[in-house]
Structure 1
């Protein structure tokens, strides 16, 4: 199958250096494999959308001169599609309504199936996906062999919240299939989401995907760069310098300072995933 990759940021805050690492790696990996690179804005969690984040994402794509191979899509425009997939899962008896609140669940992060056999009405309830007592394994291109038993590690998980918000897990799996994504390149903070997404995709008979989870850039407090940790927003006036830093942080050969488009072309020509640092965290700190 032809390679189709994607960069899928969430507009819950401005893009930061960690976001740039993912954009560069996903872009270079797709282009080095003569594939396509798509951009998707993952904005189903509407209450957490940060003002002007979508505009900042689009400005960064332009400033760093990435060239998506299709129109940028937003998940908030696709809620009806996710609802249709939930109906499909309902017919498969793969989901159920759950009335449990966070207070009721307490600190237990493994859901024990309290509502699985109650046959509650689906209206105004959370919707959970049934998981099985089986091992889900995949070979990550960078992190190696991974395995998880969702029943033991997590339990049945939520696809739609009580307030009507579609979950990241549902939207990302559906959109990856509809967009024909074959390869996922993203941060290692999403590594533990992968088994959930593989399980859901298998229930829907979606094709298997290839995964590569990148090590995370850290701040000087030893925390991963994230919007929650108030990571510094990308300064698009310094696009070429930041791009060079990102390429070097990914272990790739130096590219000459130039227009970002020219630098990306050189980075694609030199791209070698065997040079990307192994592990979950990058050594050093990044602002």
Structure 2
């Protein structure tokens, strides 16, 4: 047995007794929210609230190289302008600062990720890697484990996690059975980067475990990574949440709206038109919402919580606007 303490004893006990739906919206502060972000936020919000659940906002700023100044404030202001009200997670409340506005922030949790990293290390699941991106690309683009037995120092090299029992398929609540891309499901992926930053894969799984998330509702563009995350839950000995992937919003086929593509920010000064449009794309019968022109965004969301029916959501992985 490893002398390193199991890092999820409290969380495992909570998850075996919790019966409440717990969802989250986890934007990266790499720019202001755009319409695609709004659509994803609405999907996760309505999924949780329509089942009398809790809904958290978490700031995923683990990749500090992409963080833009003031983006966090812009994101929270936009959510408020569109009528969203998020809950405070009692599981992780002690980690919040007054300035956090009840939003868990990844860069405040580095010690927690290190603790979980050390647990994986003690289970002999990690190893250092000296391969460059150029070398991996020359081998076909998928890492083949060539550093696994070199015993490189974890302190001075990027660190990979062994995929000893990879998952090859899973069931999505919206899209059904999904076959994981072979390269993604079996690859020993990086869990700590060359610059010392922990990977998104580690941070998001630890965050979801710590917050007791029961349902992950997010865009289908992240769906290929789900198998990796499910395997990591398995390696931590934790039951994973259910996954519900939404279609992504695209301006043209194959080009989703994104911050990288410089998508237009949502209009905080006139939020109702975009809110109504997003609800329509989620399949809500907006024409049945009486006096919608007189309702505030918060009141429209109250109506949407009572009305949403996810069976009306389009089955394609992309919605063109």
- The normalised TM-score by structure 2 is 0.85
Contact between 2:129 and 2:147, CA under 8 Å: does it hold in 1?
yes
Q: Which residue of 2 aligns with 1:278?
A: 315
Q: Which residue of 2 aligns with 1:10?
A: 28
**May I ask how many residue pairs the two structures share in their alignment?**
284
Contact between 1:134 and 1:149, CA under 8 Å: does it hold in 2?
no
2:56 to 9, 19, 38: 38
1:253 is the counterpart of 2:285: yes
Q: Which residue of 2 aligns with 1:267?
A: 304
- Report the Cα offset of residue 149 of structure 1: 6.5
3-state SS of paired residue (1:139): strand
In structure 2, the CA distance between the partners of 1:5 and 1:168, relative to structure 1 (3 Å rule), is same
1:48 is the counterpart of 2:66: yes
Contact between 2:58 and 2:104, CA under 8 Å: does it hold in 1?
yes
Q: Which residue of 2 aligns with 1:163?
A: 195
3-state SS of paired residue (1:238): coil
- Report the Cα offset of residue 106 of structure 1: 2.2
Rounded Cα–Cα distance in structure 1 between residues aligned with 2:165 and 2:141: 17
Using the TM superposition, name which of 204-213 and 81-90 deviates more.
204-213
Q: Deviations over 1:3-51 (max 9, x none)?
A: 0000000011211000000111100110111110000010000011122
Q: Which residue of 2 aligns with 1:74?
A: 105
3-state SS of paired residue (1:219): strand
1:228 to 253, 260, 263: 260
Contact between 1:140 and 1:213, CA under 8 Å: does it hold in 2?
yes
3-state SS of paired residue (2:238): coil
Show structure 1 runs of 4+ deviating over 2 A. 106-109, 132-137, 147-154
Rounded Cα–Cα distance in structure 2 between residues aligned with 1:193 and 1:83: 22
Tell me how large the CA RMSD over aligned residues is: 1.5
In structure 2, the CA distance between the partners of 1:51 and 1:96, relative to structure 1 (3 Å rule), is same
Q: Which residue of 2 aligns with 1:137?
A: 169
Using the TM superposition, name which of 81-90 and 108-117 deviates more.
108-117
Q: Which residue of 2 aligns with 1:83?
A: 114
Rounded Cα–Cα distance in structure 2 between residues aligned with 1:260 and 1:27: 14
- The normalised TM-score by structure 1 is 0.95
Rounded Cα–Cα distance in structure 2 between residues aligned with 1:245 and 1:125: 47
Stretches of structure 1 that go unaligned for 5 or more consecutive residues are: none
Q: Deviations over 1:191-247 (max 9, x none)?
A: 011001000111001222111111111114751000111100111012111111110
1:146 to 168, 178, 192: 178
Q: Which residue of 1 aligns with 2:45?
A: 27
1:209 is the counterpart of 2:227: no
1:184 to 206, 210, 216: 216
3-state SS of paired residue (1:191): helix
Rounded Cα–Cα distance in structure 2 between residues aligned with 1:146 and 1:138: 5
Q: Which residue of 2 aligns with 1:97?
A: 128
Rounded Cα–Cα distance in structure 1 between residues aligned with 2:109 and 2:167: 32
3-state SS of paired residue (2:248): coil
